Amino acid sequence: MLPQTVKLVEVGPRDGLQNEPGTVPTATKVALIDRLGAAGLTVIEAGSFVSPKWVPQMADTAAVLAAIQRRPGVSYPVLVPNMKGLEAALAATGVEEIAVFGAASESFSQRNTNCSIDDGLARFADVTAAAREKGLRVRGYVSCVLGCPYEGRIAPEAVARVAGALVDMGCYEISLGDTIGAGTPLAAQAMVEAVAERVPRERLAAHFHDTYGQALANILAVMERGVAVVDCSVAGLGGCPYAKGASGNVATEDVLYMLDGMGIATGVDMSALLDASAMISQALGRSPASRVARAMGCAAA
């Protein structure tokens, strides 16, 4: 049974722009977030408090948060990797929600965060406890849920273990990320079924990359298994710096087109979303990766 409504979580301003080779001006990020809010998106990742040495593209997150036009009912979460990042988030303007991230692959965890899965979970338990004590909501990400650039296929049980640990420490929602876009529909369904033994389906989100053109098919497949939250990125921005050849997140426009065509409500206006897509694509000097945006003529000037 497919859901009647789906919540779209817009990750372009963070997960998308952090993978740009150069830094995007603060004013451009603010304009993008404001347009995405105007389009009806109710969750918009606004940035991350990570080391500017490693991710200089996100160094201005505090400035972005101070400048955006906040809309009632819209959440602007930020990614936080450790206690230092949490302290920066708490010092910033209006942070009400953070996200922490773990991996289902031991090799990916070591190369991405320089620690084991278990050590990473222990770190996030401290961050989550401190954040919740301050009244912040915490979302959890699990990467490499359907494949790893170093290990290949990942067992669904490994994903379930990490997802369950994140829920146990207080994450209200778990985003399941196919970081390298290697998954296919039946594998995605099997993974969700395994995770659902530890985490209620209504607390799961899908986060698919489109490396092999499988993202929309995978989203539909997990929706059939009760997932009603989908992460997506305007104009198909993003990728994974640790996964060679991994293309961007599935484009928000493409997901919306599919859901609109199926009569599934999202509250997002396609025309306004295409405006946001065209704006950021023009700012980056390229056409959007979204097939829908290209078909509708929203190429960069």
- The domain segmentation of the chain, as residue ranges, is 7-295
Mean pLDDT of 85-112: 94
Q: How far is CA 77 from CA 8, 109, 200, 263, in A?
A: 14, 22, 22, 28
pLDDT at 137: 98
Instruction: Decide: 32 and 46 in contact? Cβ < 8 Å.
Output: no
pLDDT at 245: 52
> Residues 139-164: pLDDT tens digits?
999 999 999 989 999 999 999 999 99
User: Which top CATH class is 7-295?
Assistant: alpha beta
Mean pLDDT of 59-66: 98
Residue keyed to tokens 């408090």: 49
Mean pLDDT of 180-208: 97
pLDDT at 300: 45
Task: Name the average pLDDT for the chain.
Answer: 94
User: What's this model's pTM, rounded to 2 decimal places?
Assistant: 0.95
Query: Which residues are catalytically annotated?
Result: 240
Give the burial class of 201: count Cβ atoms within 10 A of its Cβ; 0-12 exposed, 13-18 middle, 19 or more buried: middle
Mean pLDDT of 10-21: 94
Instruction: Decide: 144 and 177 in contact? Cβ < 8 Å.
Output: yes
Mean pLDDT of 270-274: 97
Residue 265 binned pLDDT confidence (cut-offs 50, 70, 90) = very high
pLDDT at 239: 65
Residue 112 binned pLDDT confidence (cut-offs 50, 70, 90) = confident
Secondary structure of the chain as H, E, C letters: CCCCECEEEECHHHHHHHHCCCCCCHHHHHHHHHHHHHCCCCEECCEECCCCCCCHHHCCHHHHHHHCCCCCCCECCEECCCHHHHHHHHHCCCCCEEEEEEECCHHHHHHHHCCCHHHHHHHHHHHHHHHHHCCCEEEEEEECCCCECCCECCCHHHHHHHHHHHHHCCCCEEEEEECCCCCCHHHHHHHHHHHCCCCCHHHEEEEEECCCCCHHHHHHHHHCCCCCEEEEEHHHCCCCCCCCCCCCECEHHHHHHHHHHCCCECCCCHHHHHHHHHHHHHHHCCCCCCHHHHHCCCCCC
